[in-house]
Structure 1
Amino acid sequence: MTRLIDIRPGRGGRFLLGALPILALLFVYLLASEARHADNPADKVLPTFAAMAQAIHAFTTDRDPASDRVVIVADTIASLYRLGVGLAIATGTALILGLLLGVVPLARALLGPVVAVIAVIPPVAVLPILFIVLGLDEASKIALIAIGITPFMTRDLTSFVVSLPAEQFAKAQTLGANSWQLAIRVALPQLMPRLIAALRLSMGPAWVFLIAAEAVASDVGLGYRIFLVRRYFAMDIILPYVAWISLLAISSDALLLFASRRGFPWAHGAGR
């Protein structure tokens, strides 16, 4: 008798199984929205697919007055710029600190507690401080993303380096490797897949911090647009924007996974 745990669907089967819940949710939403609009044609809570299609046509054709770009394009470029720069700063900082704290016990004893303390501070709580210190421009939004995810990534990478077999470092030292060579030649190659994995896990919080910053002080961006139209209960705009953000997040995660599998196939077991 075949056990449930032994059933492993192929690529096509996984795609079909993954699509079924999404299609079911869309079907339930369709029924609910049609039922609400049958009772109240002016209902804004559950807009119909036709209403959302009209809204999508509007923000994919209308132009933003400030940038003279199509609204959705202007919002997407602004948000992706902030997100990309914030993630780049966080990734570079976490990589350097992770190597330093993981390879050098003295550095870990000195800086580890500071990183641990910063990691437990809610990043959104420091947003007013960032606005006061850095102003309302791009710097404060980028800083929130970097501050929000750097401590988590640093602790994760440090833990990974510390868990590497001590024999690897001992053999390298026997061959004359110094601390710099231990970090670059021994720890770094093994750390790179973990770095990408940590970045993938940080993408969700990074989007949250970005939307929060754009909602408070911005004149363009995906988060700004959502919080701008909420005062009008424009769910026909909010829902497509949320779907677009989800699509961007899924695409970036898939791209990172592809890069990890292509660059470091040895870190991905068969069948994963």
Structure 2
Amino acid sequence: MKKLINYTPSRSNAILLGLLPFALLIVLYMISSDARLAINPSDKILPSFSSMGEAMYRMAFTPSRRTGDYVFWQDTLSSLMRLGSGVLIAASIGLFLGLMTGALPLLTASLSPLLTVISLVPPLALLPILFIAVGLGETSKITLIAIGITPFIARDIQRRVQEIPSEQLVKAQTLGASTSQILIRVLLPQILPKLIDAVRLSLGAGWLFLIAAEAISSTDGLGYRIFLVRRYLSMDVILPYVAWITLLAFLVDYLLGRLNRRLFPWSLEARS
């Protein structure tokens, strides 16, 4: 008899096993919702799927009377633009700092302690300071995301640079390469796929900072809408919004993974 530890499911079985927990959660929710609504039809804690569908249809396909916008899509666009801007800034700064501090011992000695200390500062604690310094507009939200994930990306890139075999640097110098040539032509191409991986790992924190900033000061966005309707106990809006944020996070992560495989196929081959 084959031991369980040696059993590897086929691709189709793996997909089914992956979907099973989600199906069980949906069934459990439906049972719980029906039970609560049977006792109290006006219960708002566990709304039915039909009520959630009606609420989301209204927000996605009925223009707002105040602004004329389709609220759901406007919230999605605003949040994605803020997240994208913050992550792009963080990736650029993190790549530069990580590459420099990982490759140049002088900068490693001088900047690594500072980078470590900055990474230990809770970014949400800086939010009031950002509001005072740069106002309540888009700049503060994007800055919070950038500050929150830049140290993580920079430290990860720094470690990746230091993991590159020193023999490559010695060979490049033997062939007459300067410091800038080594950084750009030897280290940078090997670090770019690691950068995408670091961004993927930091997206969870990026979403957290985005939702927090939107909840405190914003006029649109997914986080803003969730905290706006909570005062009315509108779980028929909150739950679909949370599910939508989860789906967006999954799609962004998936697309970044595909982009990494498309741009740097040699990186995956090297890992295998």
Does TM-score exceed 0.5, indicating one fold?
A: yes
Contact kept in structure 2, 1:64 and 1:74, CA below 8 Å: no
Distance between the aligned counterparts of 1:180 and 1:3, measured in 2?
55
Tell me the equivalent position of 2:263. Answer: 263
* 1:172-197 Cα shifts (integer Å, max 9, x gaps): 11111111111111111111121111
Tell me the equivalent position of 1:119. Answer: 119
* 1:249-271 Cα shifts (integer Å, max 9, x gaps): 00000001111112222322599
Distance between the aligned counterparts of 2:6 and 2:271, measured in 1?
13
Distance between the aligned counterparts of 2:231 and 2:169, measured in 1?
59
Distance between the aligned counterparts of 1:52 and 1:126, measured in 2?
36
Distance between the aligned counterparts of 2:10 and 2:113, measured in 1?
46
Q: Give the AA of the match of 2:123.
A: P
Is residue 81 from structure 1 mapped to residue 69 from structure 2 by the alignment?
Answer: no
Tell me the equivalent position of 1:56. Answer: 56
Deviation of the 1:10 alpha carbon: 4.1
Q: Give the AA of the match of 1:258.
A: R
Q: 1:262 to 1:10 in 2, by over 3 A?
A: farther
Tell me the equivalent position of 1:134. Answer: 134
Secondary structure of 1:219 counterpart: coil
- How many residue pairs match? The answer is 272
* 1:192-249 Cα shifts (integer Å, max 9, x gaps): 1211111101110000000000000000000000000000111010000001111110
Q: Give the AA of the match of 1:184.
A: I
Contact kept in structure 2, 1:115 and 1:151, CA below 8 Å: yes
Secondary structure of 2:61 counterpart: coil
Distance between the aligned counterparts of 2:243 and 2:71, measured in 1?
16
Q: Give the AA of the match of 2:221.
A: G
Tell me the equivalent position of 1:2. Answer: 2
Is residue 194 from structure 1 mapped to residue 190 from structure 2 by the alignment?
Answer: no
Contact kept in structure 2, 1:127 and 1:213, CA below 8 Å: yes
- Name the Cα RMSD after superposition: 1.7
Tell me the equivalent position of 2:212. Answer: 212
Contact kept in structure 2, 1:44 and 1:233, CA below 8 Å: yes
Distance between the aligned counterparts of 2:38 and 2:260, measured in 1?
49
Tell me the equivalent position of 2:69. Answer: 69
Q: Flag structure 2 segments of 5+ consecutive residues without an equivalent.
A: none
Distance between the aligned counterparts of 1:183 and 1:6, measured in 2?
45
5 Å matches for 1:1-272?
A: 1-64=1-64, 67-268=67-268
